[in-house]
Structure formats: structure tokens, C-alpha cells
Chain A
Amino acid sequence: MRQQRETPHTYWRMVWKHFRQKHLAVAGLAVTLFFFAVAIFAPLLANDRPILVRHSGQWYWPIFSGLERVGPYHWKELKRDNLPRIYQGDLGAPGDFAVWPLVPYSATEYDLLASLEPPTVQHWFGTDDRGRDVLSRMIYGARISLSVGFVAVGIAVSIGILLGALAGYFGGWADQLVSRLIEILLTIPTFFMIIAIIAFLPPSIYNIMVVIGLTGWTGVARFVRAEFFKLKQLDFVLASRALGASSARLIFVHMLPNAMAPVLVSAVFGIAGAILTESSLSFLGFGVPPPTPSWGDILSQSRDYIEFAWWLTIFPGVAIFTSITAYNLVGEGLRDAMDPKLFR
């Protein structure tokens, strides 16, 4: 038992050792972690409420407690009175102060008087046609991108592993069935089908995740199927079978852990693909329902003001490009690091 646990540990340690030598892949990993942090801490990075308030000798945490006001002023009035900055002045009593987040705007807050402003000291990435802060929308958009990427790929990987394992393990008609299914999904114009299905369903981020997941499992299934074909002839599998292990035990306990390397690689590439699909859908107007912010949605707005509003095009585009590139770099680094030729 102990040995079983140690073997994968050293394998992953060796993968990490090879991965670490690839500077670009490590840079990609750093970027993905950065976007992760942005997504997780979005409410603390961009919010129309202060993080911390000192009022009449008391401490308040409006973002966490949902507090609407302290003293005579609503947060909005306070912000309008002063230039938005991290420290705000007097709240009514001497010694009072408020600490706003780095971006003192929420993703959905309107200000029609400040619409379509190029980047300024207040709005670092400019504002959109409703005067919403672009940076704030992008920070919250990272949540959409990442959650769609991970959930869609989670669905795709689960289906791919299951069907690929069944096809590879049982062969015969199970393999025929799965192979035909893969062929069907390969021939159907996937992106067009996704648009059509999404357009028919009520607009929701969950539908997008599910549809991308349901159409994206073929790569994983093919890898797992191929691995299983190889694995099932190996001695350790034959030995377990001779000892009376059930098919389920053979598949999930003995074979699957040995087939995970290509799954992981295609999952990482899959995240890049899902982020791209989500942003393309939002760009075409089939994405998450408004006013939920999404990178593709900001880009799609930019088309109406394309003559001058470069900030609506450049910033969200760079965000999409950077995150896709980062996942692709990590995926490629992993693939190289897991190349069995390196372990010989």
C-alpha cells in the first residue's frame, strides 16, 4: 500500500523537475495563478464599497458585512464628493477614514455622465458606453472566464475518461459505439452547434459550461482509449485480473492512474479552448446574460465605438490572449515534462 502511494509521488516530482526547467511554462503557470488570485479576490480588488472604515472610534468592514452606510453618508455620495482614491476624507467625526479597494468601482455600477472615457486617473482602463469601469468589469470577468474554463473542462474530462476507459477496456462494440460518437462530434461544426444550442436555451452561464463540456470531451476520450489499449496488455493489469479484481476496480484503481498524464495535458489545453469559446460566445452576444461582466462582452461592446474606443478593444483582448497563452504554455510544458523519453 505504502509503495503504491510513493510511486506516483516520485513520478509527479520528476514531472515537476522537468517542468521547472522550462521558463516559459513556469511563466505561464505564474500568469494562471495571477488570474486565479484576481478571480478569487475580485470583490476586494474592485468594489464600490470601502474595505475598511473607521468611524466614531469603531471599525467597519463594509464589503464583508454588506453595510450600506456609516454616519450620514451613503458610500456612493462619499465617493462622488471626492476623487476616488484609496483614502477618503472625513466621515463626520475627526479621525474617521475609509479604505477603498484599488479599483473603487463595482462591475455593474452605472455613471452615464462618465461614459466612454479613455483611461484616466480615476478609471485606469477607461469606461464603457454606460460609464461602467472597464478594469472593474475585467476583474469580475476573470471569474467568468475561469469558472467556465474549469467547469466545462471538468465535465469534458469526466465524460472523456469514462467513455475512453469503457472503449479502451472493453473494446468490441463499446469501442465501436464510442468511436462513432467521437467521429460524429468531430464532423459536426462544433462552434456553430454550440451557438445554436446556446441560442435556444435560456441565457445562463451554466448552460454555457455544460454545452462546452458536452462537446469538448473527444480529445480526452481518444487519449484514454489509446492508453487503455496499451495498458490492458501489461503484466500488472493481467496480474490484478488473475487475482480476481473486478472490471471497475481494474479500470479506476489500476489503469486510470497510469493514463492520467495525457488527460491532464489535454485538460490544460482544454481550459484554454473553453476560455476562447466562452469569450467568442460573449463576443457574438450569446454569452452570460447582462449585466454580468465578461471579457468577450466588453470586446463586443467595443465594436459599436470601434472608431475611437481603443481601450474597450485592447484591454479585454489582452486579458483573453494572455490567459489563453498562459494555459497553452502550461499545457505544452506539461506535455514535454511528461514525455516518457525523458524518464529513460
Chain B
Amino acid sequence: MANYIIKRLLQVIPTLLGITLITFLIIQLAPGNPATLKLQMAGQGEMGESAIAQQIIQQTKELYGLDKPLIVQYLLWVKRVFTLDFGNSFKDHRPVLAKIAERLPITIQLNVISIVLVYLIAIPFGVYSATHADTFSDRALTLFFFFLYSLPSFWVAVLLIMFFGGGDFLDVFPVYGISSIGADSWPFFRWLTDRLWHLILPVTCLTYGGLAYLSRLTRAEMLEVIREDYIRTARAKGLSERVVIFKHALRNALLPIITLLAFLLPAMFGGSVIIESIFSIPGMGQLGFESVLSRDYPVIMAITTISALLTLVGLLISDILYATLDPRIKLE
């Protein structure tokens, strides 16, 4: 076991370097370089003088090490990643890490709520489908989840806004932000209901896809497990169907489903980019979208790197968990 963990940890090193290399290359790919781009942005302001402009280019180049050879630039970037120093945003010159830190809680809030909902709803449906395999209700559920899975989330978001967010149809839910204006000074209970009211539509959009995917997966895993010999043994012992399904079958079927969590993270962030920008939610996703629009390189690189790091840690934990929990897995 210890050997496996050490080996797995060693494998993380090249992956980490690969992540930093790819984010570094994305920046190199951009037309012009950050220095001239920053200059263009400054030029739109009052600084038109070319002498001042040259000075700014020089300063920026030095700041980002752009006057050094490519390999040195990359090493500098790696060093900064490992000290979690992502520099300042081009847009408002605030430290990138501070900007991310203030946006991250909102995205985490959204995604944690939707992940919890996904698991809470999907697993019972999946188990039901598996225990009622090939009945009418199983087929209907499977088909329903299949269609749900194929629905593009941005379309669902627009439809929900159209039908429930004012306009010619119903006006039930707010479609802008995560709180009403002035909600910060409200008493807690009122603040909470207001927040939940705002979260319903975006959380719906973030949840249904994963829900459909996970319940289909739960069904498949359960069907697989139910065929195993130990389930037949459990039934032969005379255990009640309840105990067989929930204690013997579900626990084994849940293993791959729980460890799937790590893979859900990048997809969830991708979803956040779209959903947060549609609903104007000031989270990481919206920050990412805005930074791409304004070509705010330091923010783009920081977001890509940080979410990749988080996912990598998630993958590592899920691999180790899986290996610990399931003794059938050979550790080679």
C-alpha cells in the first residue's frame, strides 16, 4: 500500500510539470505578448506618448521576465506557480490570488449544493431502476435521464430565464446575481431565503446533467453487482431483499460512483463558466469568462493552474481511496 501511494505521488510530478507547461504555452500562443497587449490597453486610456509607452513595455517585460529566453521564462513561471504567486491582474492591478479568493466561495457554494443534490437524487433513482430492471418504470426513467443528459445546459438556462424570469411568461425567480440588492443588511433568515431563491435556477442548470449521468451509472453498477456470486449467497442465506440491496449490493456499487467525484470537478467548473456568466453570478466561472474576454493573462493562467491542481489532488485522493477500499484492486 505504502509503495503504491509513493509511486502514485511520484507520478504526480510529471503531471504537475505538464500542467504548468500547457498553461505557459497558452500564453505564448497569444498574438503579441502580454507587454504589448497591456500597452494597447493602457493606450486606450490617457497614455499615448510613445516614450512612456516604451517605458511601460520595458517594465512589463521585466516584471514578467519576457526579455529572457523562453526556457528561463518557463522556469520562472514554474517557480511562481509553486509559490502560488500569480502576479497582478492586468485589468485592475489587484493580486490575482486575492481576486480568485473572493470569487471561489460562491462557485464552491454552487457546486457543492449541486453535487450533493446530484448524489442524493441520482443514487435512489439508479437503485430503483436497477432493482426494477426492464420494467416499464425503469425504461421510462432510463429514457428520461437519457434525454436529460443530452440537454445543453446553456439552452436550459435560457429557457428557464425565458419562462420563469419575467418577460412575457412567468416571473417567479430572479435571474440576476445571487442576492437581492441590500440583502447583506437583512436578518439572517430573510437573507437565506433570498439567497436560496436566487440559487434555484442556476443550481438546476448545474445539477440535472450530472444527475442524469450518475443515475445511469448507478443503475449500470448496481446491475453489475447484483449478478455477483456474493449477492446470490446473501439471498440464499435468507437475508431480506432490503438488506441484500442496500447493505450488500449498494455498498459495493457505490465505490466507483464515489470516486467519480474527482472527475466531476473539471466538468463542473466548465459548467460554472457558462452558467455563472448567464446568471451574472460573481464566481470563479464568471471571473474566468471575463478574464478571457479582457485577455487578462495572469488570471487565465492562475484559474487554469489552480483548478488543474485541485482536480489532480482530487484524482490522487480518489485513486488512493479506491485502492484502500477495494481490496480486489491489484497494486502493481
Contacts and interface: CB of A to CB of B under 8 A. Distances in A.
11 contacts: A180-B18, A181-B18, A189-B307, A192-B304, A196-B304, A199-B295, A279-B154, A306-B158, A310-B168, A313-B155, A320-B152
Interface of B: 11, 14-15, 18-19, 22-23, 26, 29-31, 143, 146-147, 149-152, 154-155, 158-159, 161-162, 165-168, 263, 266, 269-270, 273-274, 277-278, 288-289, 292-293, 295, 300, 303-304, 307-309, 311-312, 315
A97 B252 CA distance: 72
Given A180-B18, A195-B273, A280 B152 contact: yes
B263 A186 contact: yes
A187 B146 contact: no
B41 to A, nearest CB: 15
Given A189-B304, A189-B308, A192-B304, A280 B22 contact: no
Main secondary structure of the interface of A (DSSP, over half): helix
Given A180-B11, A187-B266, A284-B274, A317 B158 contact: yes
A321 B304 contact: no
A195 B286 CA distance: 13
A282 to B, nearest CB: 10
A334 interface: no
Given A187-B311, A192-B273, A284-B154, 18 more contacts: A180-B11, A180-B15, A186-B311, A187-B308, A190-B266, A191-B274, A192-B269, A196-B300, A199-B295, A200-B29, A202-B31, A272-B150, A280-B152, A303-B158, A306-B161, A313-B159, A321-B151, A324-B152
Contacts of A201: 29
B11 A187 contact: no
Given A181-B18, A199-B295, A200-B29, A284 B277 contact: yes
Interface in A280-302: 280, 283-284, 299, 302
A303 B18 CA distance: 38
Interface of A: 24, 176, 180-181, 183-184, 186-193, 195-197, 199-202, 272, 276, 279-280, 283-284, 299, 302-303, 306-308, 310, 313, 317, 320-321, 324-325, 328-329, 332
A196 B22 CA distance: 12
Given A200-B30, A325-B147, A313 B158 contact: yes
A283 B14 CA distance: 35
Contacts of A188: 19, 22-23, 266, 304, 307-308, 311
Nearest to B165: A306
B159 A190 contact: no
B150 A325 contact: yes
